[in-house]
Amino acid sequence: MSSREPMWYCHECNAEMRPLMMPDPHCASCQGTFVEKMENPADDPREFSHGLGDEGFGGIPDYLEQMFSMPPPGVNPSMFGGPRGPTRSPTGGLGGSTRSRSPGSTPPGSGFRFEMHRGPGGGSSTFIIGGAPTLGRTPGTRPGGPGVDPVPNMSDYIRRNEGPTRDGEIQGQLMMQFLQMLRAASGNRAGGEDPFAALFGGMAGGPDGRMGDYVFSQEALDRIVTQLMEAGNTHRPVPATEEVIAKLDTDVLQEKSPLLEKDCAVCKEQFSLQTEDPDEQIVVTLPCHHPFHQPCIIPWLKSSGTCPVCRFALVPQPDQQASGSQPPGGSGGPSQGGSGTSGSPPRSPPPPSGSGPAPGAGSSSGGGGGGFLSNIFGHLNPLGGHGSSHSPPSTNNSRGPSNRNSTRRSTRGPSGDDVPGSWHDFLD
């Protein structure tokens, strides 16, 4: 071939051909423009097809091959009935590959259709799954003359296995059984990498109502949405590791310790030498200088590696970036309730019962919303006082006061019943 003018390759026909230059190259067979000149032997488009056939789908189990095989060339493809549009007679391309019309011309409701080509010289298989209204045909018209023993097509296959059905119809239930059967069969093939197992991966169709990418019950959909949300939930607190906890500053209370004047913010009790539990005389002081009873703080750190008082992060917390990157006072997106999107400056909530914001808490990045935590901290005397006397160095940390002051709320996202269309809302 190298001695001749290079051939062209039509990716729609999967065949070599000489294009019609009009003036751009068009496939001589299908008039398509997805054609490629085969000039570089190192990048032969046929190799792709080869690869697909020999590696990608090389493991097509025989039974599937049988089940799905198109009738040999020459047999009227209309025997497939149903989605009559997509299938044409073989076009004389290399290997007699079957091809489909462009998707635009596929009649609506013709179902999901894909083809497998086994490269030049190989055959091809066309699968049509679903589709309206029928894959069937009348029994008398079984194709193939004398000497031809046609492989069963899908409707034959199902009819044989499921007993008599109404002719010419594959109902959803039947299709499901068929697909389940496929799965069962591929499951029996020990060890083999069955492409169909991957294709219909995880297809149980059974109690969990799932089949591949499809779900058949609200419950199953909820589960999937929940999984997705868990996967994408970047706001869940990250617990402190044992290693981090082990390195924390730990003291045993002694007479005249300055700690004795302070409270543990978790149990709100003052540190004391007179405690029933000797563990409560062990005080853990976090790097932000906030002290806690050891039995109070350890369980918390194992659920969230932050200081309960100032949210100093002992381990990187996922919402640091998230909250830090949010525009101050910005509304949370299209899902936001109207009151957040008005664009007018937010009104600060009135301070509760006359107690001001906690000293040391920075002014809010978010305007009105920022007042909430400072309100709380302000309210929680004497905690606020302790906080101020310590003026924790949290401003030097990645999670500064401006972060912690923004209270985040939303109307979004109850896990059970969201719809895919709103997933963009979770990407923040």
Partner 1 sequence: MASISARRLRKELSEIHVEGCPVGINLLSADNFEQWLLSLEVMGESQYPGEVFALKFRFDPNYPISSPAVQFVVDGKYTSPVHPHVYSNGHICASILGNEWSPVLSVIGICVTLQSMLASCKKKERPQDNDRYVLHAPDNPKKTRFHYDVDTV
Site for partner 1 in 270-309 (CB under 8 A): 276-277, 296, 299-300, 303, 306, 308-309
Give, as one character, the DSSP assignment of residue 150: P
Min dist. Cβ of residue 265 to partner 1 (A): 5
Residue from 117, 137, 311, 399 touching partner 1 (CB under 8 A): that is 311
367 binds partner 1 (CB under 8 A): yes
Taking CB under 8 A as the binding criterion, the range among 130-138, 191-199, 243-251, 400-408 that sits at the site for partner 1 is: 400-408
| Torsion sign (Cα): 6, 7, 8, 9 | negative
168 binds partner 1 (CB under 8 A): no
Tokens coding 342: 């008005």
Q: Which listed residue (68, 313, 380, 397) binds partner 1 by CB under 8 A?
A: 380
186 or 306: CB nearest partner 1: 306
Nearest distance from C-beta of residue 215 to partner 1, angstroms: 15
Residue 99's nearest CA partner among 25, 29, 17, 51 is 29
Of the candidates 116, 119, 83, 123, the one whose C-alpha atom is nearest the C-alpha of residue 101 is: 83
Smallest distance from partner 1 to CB 325, Å: 10
Nearer to partner 1 by C-beta: 142 or 268?
A: 268
DSSP H helices, 39-128, are 45-51, 62-68
Of the pair 87, 406, the CB lying nearest partner 1 is at 406
Q: Which residues share a beta bridge with 8?
A: 17, 37
Smaller CB separation from partner 1, 121 or 393: 393
User: Total number of residues binding partner 1 (CB under 8 A)?
Assistant: 75
Binding mask 322-361 toward partner 1 (x if CB under 8 A, else -) reads -x--x--xxxxx-xxxxxx-x---xxxxx-xx--------
Contacts 24+ apart (CB under 8 A), 348-353: 349/375, 351/375, 351/378, 352/378, 352/379, 353/379
CB 243 to partner 1: min, Å: 21
User: Residue from 57, 68, 196, 377 that binds partner 1 (CB under 8 A)?
Assistant: 377
313 forms part of the interface with partner 1 (CB under 8 A):
no
Can you tell me which of 84, 142, 166, 268 binds partner 1, judged by CB under 8 A? 268
Residue 253: CB minimum distance to partner 1, A: 18
For residue 242, with 0-12 CB atoms within 10 Å meaning exposed, 13-18 middle and 19 or more buried, which class applies? exposed
- Return the sign of the alpha-carbon dihedral for residues 333, 337, 338, 339: negative
Stretch that binds partner 1, among 12-20, 142-150, 225-233, 248-256 (CB under 8 A): 225-233
Q: Please tell me the distance from the alpha carbon of residue 82 to that of residue 137, in angstroms, as a whole number.
A: 9
Dihedral (C-alpha) 180, 136, 155, 120: value to the nearest 10 degrees?
-110
Which of 18, 236, 247, 424 touches partner 1 (CB under 8 A)?
Answer: 236
Q: Where are the alpha helices (DSSP H) in 169-314?
A: 172-188, 195-199, 218-232, 242-246, 294-303
Long-range contacts of 326-331, Cβ-Cβ distance < 8 Å, separation of 24 or more: 326/406, 326/428, 328/365, 328/366, 328/367, 329/365, 329/366, 329/367, 329/369
Contacts of 24 by beta carbon, 8 Å cutoff, 6+ apart:
33
82 vs 401 by CB, closer to partner 1 = 401
Site residues (CB under 8 A) for partner 1, limited to 64-93? none
Distance CA 367, CA 373 (A): 12
Q: Is the dihedral of CA 40, 41, 46, 49 positive or negative?
A: negative
Say if CB 97 and CB 14 are below 8 A apart.
yes
Q: How far is the CB of 249 from partner 1 (least distance, A)?
A: 19
The nearer residue to partner 1, 201 or 416, going by C-beta atoms, is 416
Is residue 202 close enough to count as binding partner 1 by CB under 8 A? no
CB of 277 to partner 1, least distance (A): 6
Quote the least distance from Cβ 336 to partner 1, whole Å: 6
